[in-house]
A and B are shown apart, each in its own frame.
Chain A
Amino acid sequence: MMELFLVTVGCFLAVVGFAVLVETPGKYLLQAGFAGACGGGVYFFGMQKGLDTVPACFLSALVISLLAHIFARIFKAPVTVFLIAGILPTVPGAGMYRAVYYIITDDRARSSYYLIQTLEIAGVIALAVFIVDAVFRIKIPRRQEKDRS
């Protein structure tokens, strides 16, 4: 429990930091951090409960893109603003680095394991982003029609 708390707080701070690096306007920093913290927390919780990395990443990406879309609707800002910084805990940076690390240490079996895992995670993130995108795109025309009528 203590670890989960530490991870969530760490992800919040890290995502806020990354949001500053990509010049997110000050008023959206905390929301982006919140989305990132939730994503990181879900990922770590899933791993603690014995989920594999790839499903854990899927759940985490799903939560993050859902939050990003909700925030975008509430605060009238593009989805990218919350999504780019928020998705960072899930993006397969670690797997990519390990793939190359094991190439250097001449361990091809582990290297290809991590390479394929990286591709899987990227695909799973794509799937999660796509699902949420599709769900929210169904809603948009209905709202506009209501506005017009």
Chain B
Amino acid sequence: MDDKSIANMAVLAGEIMLRSGAETYRVEDTIKHILDTAGTAETESLVMLTGIIVTIDRPGQEAVTVMRRVHERGTNMHRIVEVNEISRKYCARELSAEETWEKLKRIKGKQYTVWMYNLATILVPAGFAPLFGGGLREILAAGGAGIVLAVLMTIGKRVKTSAFILNILCAVGVAVAAVLLKLWNPLLNMDTVIISGIMPLVPGVAITNAIRDTLRGDYISGGARALEAFVTAAAIAIGVGVGMALTTVFWQGGGL
């Protein structure tokens, strides 16, 4: 394979990882390993949260540079693991460059059915309720809030709204569900239900990655991820606030 194809392959691997929420230094490492395996003389990779630049420079030849802008990011551990395994095999020379390219192209996104996701969305709030001081009543109520959340998230994925709006809407749903359940059963600890309910939305991934990137010295990516976490947190907080205020206005006696 020529330099250009190898640079393309490295960028493809990096792009998949960056889109799936890998830490920036890991993406740079993987790209560097792939380029070095090809025996290129001078290689450099610069990865930021929003894009990748890769350069191969052989003495006496013109440098090959490939740049890729990465727009949307989610979290997908499956793809990170796959790219990791493929690049490891490639670097151990168990795979040829062509096979690696083919395998990278064929990495799939989803591996669970919609029902599994919905079940997981219900399981997360219900499971966290005891940690926040809930009993059986709160576990069931949190599961109920989880059902609302699952419905909203499934619809949101179909409609493809921006993540910010979707987070607000989901938090509104959780808050409204919690307040209504509280009205129905006054013994319920609404605080616990809401906190458990927003756990699937909480920007834990962004916070963890921000910490790890910053500690490795990737300040641009670390700062960007910290901002990402803050924006998500603000969206959830706005959503919960709006949800509680709405129900207080429409159903007297509930809410704040």
Q: Which residues of A contact B (CB under 8 A)?
A: 3, 6-7, 10-26, 28, 40, 43-44, 77-78, 80-81, 83-85, 87-89, 91, 93-94, 96-101, 103-105, 122, 125-126, 129-130, 133
Contact = CB atoms under 8 A, between A and B. Distances in A.
A84 B26 CA distance: 15
Interface stretch (B40-48, B98-106, B235-243): B235-243
Chain B contact-residue range equals 35 or more
Contact of A125 (B124, B191, B211): B211
Contacts of A89: 128, 131
Contacts of B55: none
Contacts of B250: none
Nearest to A91: B204
Interface stretch (B3-11, B31-39, B56-64, B108-116): B108-116
B195 A14 contact: no
A77 B78 CA distance: 10
Sorted nearest first, the 8 A-B pairs with minimum C-beta distance are: A14-B127, A17-B123, A93-B202, A100-B237, A20-B120, A17-B120, A13-B127, A91-B204
A129 B208 contact: yes
A108 to B, nearest CB: 15
Contact of A100 (B111, B130, B132, B240): B240
Contact of B215 (A24, A97, A129): A129
Given A94-B195, A96-B237, A101-B240, A16 B123 contact: yes
B77 A14 contact: no
A9 to B, nearest CB: 8
B179 interface: no
B65 interface: no
B181 interface: no
B70 interface: no
Contacts of B211: 122, 125-126, 129-130
Most buried by B among A25, A80, A99: A80
Contact of A21 (B111, B121, B237): B121
Nearest to B75: A22
A76 B195 CA distance: 34
A78 B81 CA distance: 7
B121 A87 contact: no
B241 A14 contact: no
Contacts of B208: 80, 83-84, 87, 91, 125, 129
A41 to B, nearest CB: 9
A10 B199 CA distance: 13
Nearest to B237: A100
Given A20-B117, A44-B131, A130-B215, A14 B111 contact: no
A138 B184 CA distance: 56
Contacts of B15: none
B170 interface: no
A83 to B, nearest CB: 6
